[in-house]
Amino acid sequence: MADTPSFSLKVIASNKVFYDAQAEYLQIITLTGSRGIMAHHAPCIVAVETGQMSILKPDGERITVVVSGGICSVANNRVTVLVDTCETAEEIDIRRAEEAKERALEQLRQKQSVGEYKMTQSSLARALTRLEFSSHKKHYI
């Protein structure tokens, strides 16, 4: 795998730098669906949606995490991903995610402004993504 071209990848969450090294492949969820990025990808900036992000390291190891809202910038064989949250399966608090899901579902049942409704939908999406990811973590380790 050492012959496969790589690129510089930096993944930054609001509370930490999650990854800062070379990568062979990055898969993210964007507004238009799943997008794969390899070495020498065309320059672009895309919105990152809540979902799973997967990194293939040059040694063949794959890291899969769940991220929420952000942007991804690609230029000059460097990729920077800025997200609100980035969590491994081990970091997800299942009880807290269940509570967040129930809270969001209850809020959706109530009358809300358009802005509040969109924020509640986003909270529900994050909770559901965390729960799904943590329930399938054995597939990613």
Hey, what domains does the chain have and what are their CATH numbers?
7-87 (2.60.15.10), 93-139 (1.20.5)
Q: For residue 45, what are its two tokens?
A: 């900036």
Percent of the chain scored above 70 by pLDDT?
91
Per-residue pLDDT at 136: 62
Task: Tell me if the pTM is above 0.75.
Answer: no
DSSP classification of residue 6: -
Q: What is the DSSP string of 33-55?
A: EEEEEETTPPPEEEEEPSEEEEE
Residue segments in the chain with a per-residue pLDDT below the cut of 70: 1-2, 92, 131, 136-141
